[in-house]
Amino acid sequence: MDPTPTRTRDDAANDSSTPGGFRWLLVAGGLLLQFSIGAVYAWSVFGGALENAQSWELSKVRASMPFTVTIGMIFIGSYVGGRVQDARGPRVVALAGGVIYSIGILLAGLTNGADDYWLLILGYGVISGFGLGCAYIVPIAMLQKWFPDKTGLITGLAVGGFGFGAVLTSPVAQWLIDRDPEDPTSAFLPLGIAYLLMSLVGASIFRNPPADYVVPGAEKTAGGAAEKAGKDYTQGEALRTPQWYLLTAILTLSVSAGIALISQAKLSATDIAGVSVTGAATLVGVLAIFNGAGRIFWAGMSDRIGRMRTFAAILALQGICLILLPHAGSVLLFSVLAAIIYLCYGGTFGTMPATAGDFFGVRNAGAIYGLMLVGWSLGGIIGPLIASALIGEEKAYTVAYTTIGVIALVSVALTFVTKVPAGRHAEHD
């Protein structure tokens, strides 16, 4: 925990830099950091360019591989970052993660063609993916400690910026690529600089609450918000429960479903609905709005209807929409179905941190949820690989999306057997 001066309740209530004002400033800083690293979801713009540029001419599978490696590395970064954060505080981890992520993007910008494919994988995939994981876990764990009274909503906001990252990046990246279509990776250089500045500014104010922190208004309630939770599990204790594995499985399967479309969004729009290349890039940016909004919407909804009911709805909607998507010949229908999938995909990340907090407590949230993000990495590998392999050069979208949709529908069964551990109060099961 970061060293902070001890304050009384009155001091905390009257000091605008602590609970009332400062904790919302931390939300803004977290959104800025997440916005910069969330630009990773604009990859389909680059993937399409790498397939078409004569200097690259990558196959669909090879063009999706840098994105797949990035998502695969997130788990390693989040695991390391979560453990360091619990021991050393959030600021140092977030700053380091933002710098590492930006360095990887800048290295990717130095590539000039297919001969530099290895550097693209190393920079954009391995290095930026590790930095992304380190940075991503920080505001999630930190803000749960500042907002124990609003866990669902605040974790949705904490990751909302990540979902919105591609909103601006997609059209900007397409504009940069269009300036030199034969060298699409040159767009990474200005983007990497912008990501570095945003992440440094956002992470510079991060810190954990003081030891005597009191939630504003909690003293007015019976016992306060902090007393409604039960046992705080350590990482080792969480791993000895079946609930940790069930939650990780739900995360993996939901991510696999949504990211299968995200990794192929631009080409799916052009091939299925006949959207132009420029229009598809714009659509990817618009869809990213739903990715971000879903994190906030579903997280807030889970506070009302329960976490597992929320995940059941998320998985069911993704499954149905994926099955229908290949038959959406009109731009409007394709856009609506894709928007619902993006909304649900984002909702997975908005809801799961609060769910993990309900199940295991927030004291060791960085380590426990950081390790749980192995589900993100697994899903990020499984979904795009299944999609790209089944779509293939024959553009078999019906086979690919129907297969993934059925898997999502079957996964709904997991939500009925996943219950809060006996050591925790079960308000949100």
- Please give the pLDDT value at position 224: 37
Question: What CA–CA distances, in Å, run from 96 to 3, 200, 310?
Answer: 19, 9, 34
Per-residue pLDDT at 26 exceeds 70: yes
Per-residue pLDDT at 340 exceeds 80: yes
Q: Which helix (H) or strand (E) holds 56?
A: none
Q: How confident is the model at residue 425 (pLDDT cuts 50, 70, 90)?
A: low
What is the rounded distance in angstroms from the CA atom of residue 421 to the CA atom of residue 426? Answer: 8
Please write the tens of the pLDDT for every residue from 45-73.
898 889 888 889 888 788 888 988 998 88
- Please give the pLDDT value at position 371: 87
What is the rounded distance in angstroms from the CA atom of residue 96 to the CA atom of residue 390? Answer: 38
Decide: 420 and 429 in contact? Cβ < 8 Å: yes
Tell me the one-letter amino acid at 256.
Answer: S
The fraction of the chain above a pLDDT of 90, given in percent, is: 39
- Please give the pLDDT value at position 200: 94
Which residue, 335, 347, 289, is CA-closest to 166?
289
What is the rounded distance in angstroms from the CA atom of residue 72 to the CA atom of residue 83? Answer: 18
- Please give the pLDDT value at position 33: 92
Which backbone phi and psi does 8 adopt, to 5 degrees? -80, 170
Neighbours of 304 (CB within 10 A): 9
Please write the tens of the pLDDT for every residue from 366-378.
788 888 988 988 8
What is the rounded distance in angstroms from the CA atom of residue 349 to the CA atom of residue 339? Answer: 16
Per-residue pLDDT at 338 exceeds 70: yes
Q: How confident is the model at residue 282 (pLDDT cuts 50, 70, 90)?
A: confident
Rama region for 231: left / alpha / beta (φ>0; ψ in -120 to 50; rest): beta
Per-residue pLDDT at 343 exceeds 70: yes
The C-alpha angle with vertex 139 and arms to 339 and 9, in degrees rounded to 5, equals 125
The alpha carbon of residue 46 and the mean position of all alpha carbons in its chain are separated, in whole angstroms, by 19
Residue predicted with more confidence, 317 or 9: 317
Decide: 131 and 203 in contact? Cβ < 8 Å: no
Sign of the torsion angle spanned by Cα atoms 207, 208, 212, 213: positive
Q: How confident is the model at residue 317 (pLDDT cuts 50, 70, 90)?
A: very high
Tell me the one-letter amino acid at 27.
Answer: V
Using DSSP's 3-state secondary structure scheme, residue 421 falls into coil
158: its two tokens = 């904490």
Decide: 306 and 428 in contact? Cβ < 8 Å: yes
Report the mean per-residue pLDDT for the chain.
84
347: its two tokens = 């909702």
Please write the tens of the pLDDT for every residue from 213-236.
776 655 443 333 444 456 788 888
- Please give the pLDDT value at position 401: 95
Which backbone phi and psi does 133 adopt, to 5 degrees? -60, -40
- Please give the pLDDT value at position 108: 94
Please write the tens of the pLDDT for every residue from 83-140.
888 788 899 999 999 999 999 999 999 999 889 999 999 999 999 999 999 998 888 8
Decide: 173 and 184 in contact? Cβ < 8 Å: no
Please write the tens of the pLDDT for every residue from 142-191.
888 888 777 777 878 877 888 777 777 888 888 999 888 889 999 999 99
Using DSSP's 3-state secondary structure scheme, residue 248 falls into helix
Per-residue pLDDT at 3 exceeds 80: no
- Please give the pLDDT value at position 218: 52
Q: Which CATH number fits domain 9-214+233-416: 1.20.1250.20, 3.30.365.10, 2.40.50.100, 3.10.20.30?
A: 1.20.1250.20
Decide: 104 and 128 in contact? Cβ < 8 Å: yes
The fraction of the chain above a pLDDT of 70, given in percent, is: 90
Which backbone phi and psi does 5 adopt, to 5 degrees? -70, 145
Average pLDDT over residues 392-401: 89
Per-residue pLDDT at 2 exceeds 50: no
Q: Where are the domains of the chain?
A: 9-214+233-416
Alpha helix (H) ranges present in 109-241? 117-120, 128-146, 151-179, 188-203, 235-239
